[in-house]
Structure 1
């Protein structure tokens, strides 16, 4: 009976995975819409399992919508239906619907400022809604998960599902690497234009090496925590192997920003705990992953490219580099050199920061509004202010903070700061009564760094995990502490 009960806890994710496979084998829009409706209704009746399904959907979303674009809104619709279920559950206590922590109110205020400024500056309603959705849809997970009476079993299921999905991501990533981006990928990805510097990086099913690196960092921490909780020696050995493979693929993303963020978080964690053993364990896993996974995969890819027809594949982009570690070494060495700095200043992140402050000077109080500078909406719809600052239409800020500064001005910056710092204060206040507080505090500081180099608060995979984990942390608090939130 226990085994049957355990399987029933994953009936939605398993059935959802089967339906996704069907949508990939038969990439028909009507079928995808029907699957979306079926899973949305199921999420209303099984909200916890609906959230588990999101752990499958969002990491694979880029792959899924490349094969079947009609699956694009599946995650959004499931979250909305889970939200509707929470509304239904609260029908006898409507006041609870409007109960928010200070940092949540600050985030909602930030959204209001960005939308108001955009309306004042005549930005189209479609573009405004598009950007609000980019911020809000996964934020709803914090709202719903902390109202779902999360148990220890739910948290274990969350980690089990994470491990199951990351295994698939790791296998595909290694096949991608060894096959020189020719196998287990949509044809569109195989023929994608990549710069010589990026052709050696694993993009994975997440379709972006930086997003993949962040995802692997999160999943590695959850896998390690699951390993600590399990009592089975065999399972512990299996999870250790997974961690080593994760480390190898993480290295092969060559995501320098994520490496730095992880180092910052680890340093902060060590300052608070002086846990030498954990630091040494992490260093050992990364070293073993490098030797047993990263090196063999790289040299295998070089051999495949030199000795098979893969090297003769015609791609739509520039010719790839020779292979081996030449490109990888160059990427690491160029991180802090003068040439990299000059490129960043003229066309890269520093250029975007410079332009962002130009916009801020003209719109200092509440900014130029959502969908005007470096966000996903401006990239999709175009920005009416770009021509005033001689900015290319395809600019993406790759810096969450300059985007917020330009789009929401002083008001938005202050509100977003309250949001970020409010969560940090939450972890700090509970550092003595919750063992997860210090690790999450350290991770939060690393996330702050990520905001300088990614539009991380628009990344659905990261924010999905962040808000679910934050809600899980809140569920672990003592009743008297919950009353303060």
Structure 2
């Protein structure tokens, strides 16, 4: 506790603890009461402590899948915090509201993309509710950027964000170890405990985020947070705390067997280290990586084998999984055939097939492989022979952001999406001589690579961190008029 207070002032620490306690208590209340309690508390929290409430989203979004599984009454906390913090910004800027309508090129491109995709979707028979759902998915995390970029941040805000990310990573990592060693029998809701997983996925740690890829993304940003704090606290202070948790995070990161996040992390690390020539970071990562293999990866896998040998029941898989095996699956012929029949290659082929019929404006939001289609399906799937039972009766993500944009928004959408991406890069490039600018350039390229195998701009875990950091970058480089959102 002393360490936390040393880095996040005592009042903020108390707010985080009380907020987490309210969430935990709400899990045991009737759904309607939990909804009222969390709405009142977090509405007030976001209004009176907007900057800190946005940081609290790191904790909430990371554990939200577990919370919602236990009690759906807490599912609106994230949206409520974002909306109330937005209102708080409007209140702070009430004497100069026009300045809030100043947007960069990438923002205009995003707005036009949302309009184009929405109109196209409605014209092609997509449900209005599905279109709204898809637009919300794209816009909700952008609002974090909008609020933070136009707020005069406290000097310790970025440091507080890093510490909260680290502590969240510690909690999630410890839980992940328990999940792995207990063969998914401890500290999980029954629905998760008895969920049928494929042999490929059963060896992976799902954690509190409920998804191995989301867990890997959280730990990726947790590793970056530790490296940032190590740079701030040079010397012996907290040296062992940082080193131990860096090893822990990398170990669990490996055990997620998230190939896509591994690639993104490599792209980010290679670019950032080359641009900054900070070979000390590379040395730290190499040492922690070796330590994580020796102290986390092998012992945990041996532990899994031991608990199996004494009769602990769990997912029916052979072996605990391995790095080589996971990477080998990428180019395994059987896996490639599956991707062609019902996986990524299949989606790309179908996407271009649909694009050929809707070249200019696409088939519209909510029609192909996005968040909306997971809940609402698509009016064009039957026509193009796209099955709905690929994932046990659920519709699918395209697992490729670019094919989704090409298919749903056509040539116009591709141009607007390119302007959205390149507009952000232009802002970062202007600050390329600064460490923060180099960081954002590396993160931009890592995000770009992620788009080839994730619907990356729809993943809350990723976009939350991306837009929080992007907002801080914009605020600290004075991209907009900023307002004092005083913490009361």
- Short-chain TM bin: over 0.9
> Given that residues 265 and 443 in structure 1 are in contact (C-alpha distance below 8 angstroms), is that contact kept between their aligned partners in structure 2?
yes
Q: Which whole-Å CA distance do the structure 2 matches of 1:447 and 1:459 have between them? A: 11
What is the CA-CA distance between 1:212 and the residue it aligns to? 1.1
Corresponding residue for residue 427 of structure 1: 428
- CA–CA separation in structure 2 for the residues paired with 1:257 and 1:446: 10
Is the Cα–Cα contact under 8 Å of residues 200 and 328 in structure 1 kept in the other structure?
Answer: no
CA deviations on 1:278-320 (whole Å, 9 max, x unpaired) are: 2232222112111111111111011112213x22x5xxxxx52
Question: Does residue 1:244 correspond to 2:239, yes or no?
Answer: no
Residues 383 and 162 of structure 1, relative CA distance in 2, 3 Å threshold: same
- 1 CA distance for matches of 2:81 and 2:235? 34
- Superposition map of 1:44-123 within 5 A: 44-123=47-126
Say if 1:129 and 1:37 are closer, same or farther in 2 by CA, change over 3 A.
farther
Tell me which moved more, 338-347 or 200-209: 338-347
The equivalent residue for 1:444 is 444
Structure-1 residue corresponding to 2:358: 363
Distance 1:166 1:245 in 2: 9
Cα 1:405–1:236 change in 2 (3 A) is same
Higher relative contact order, chain-length normalized (CA < 8 Å, sep 6+): 2
Distance 2:102 2:93 in 1: 12
Structure 2 gaps, min length 5? 389-394, 482-488
Asked whether the equivalents of residues 216 and 258 of structure 2 are also in contact (C-alpha less than 8 Å), the reply is: yes
Q: 1:334 aligns with which of 304, 325, 329?
A: 329
The aligned counterpart of 1:343 is 338
C-alpha RMSD of the superposition: 1.9
Counterpart Cα distance in 2 of 1:279 and 1:90: 43
Is the Cα contact below 8 Å between 1:424 and 1:441 reproduced in 2?
yes
Q: For residues 295-306 of structure 1, what are the structure 2 equivalents within 5 Å?
A: 295-306=298-309
Q: Any idea what SS the aligned residue of 2:9 has?
A: helix
TM-score scaled by length of structure 1: 0.93
Alpha-carbon distance in 1 for matches of 2:316, 2:30? 31
Please state if 1:160 is matched with 2:155: no
Q: Which residue of 1 aligns with 2:457?
A: 457
2:486 maps to: none
CA distance in structure 2 between the aligned counterparts of 1:26 and 1:61, rounded to whole angstroms: 16
1:186 maps to 2:181: no
Identify the residue that residue 276 of structure 1 maps to in structure 2.
Answer: 279
Count, aligned residues? 471
Partner Cα distance (1:133, 1:88) in 2:
23
Match of 1:316 in 2: none
Task: Give the Cα separation in 2 of the matches to 1:275 and 1:53.
Answer: 31
- CA deviation string 1:112-144 (max 9, x = no partner): 111111111132111111111111111100000
Matched, 1:131 2:134: yes
Say which of 340, 349, 353 aligns to 1:354.
349
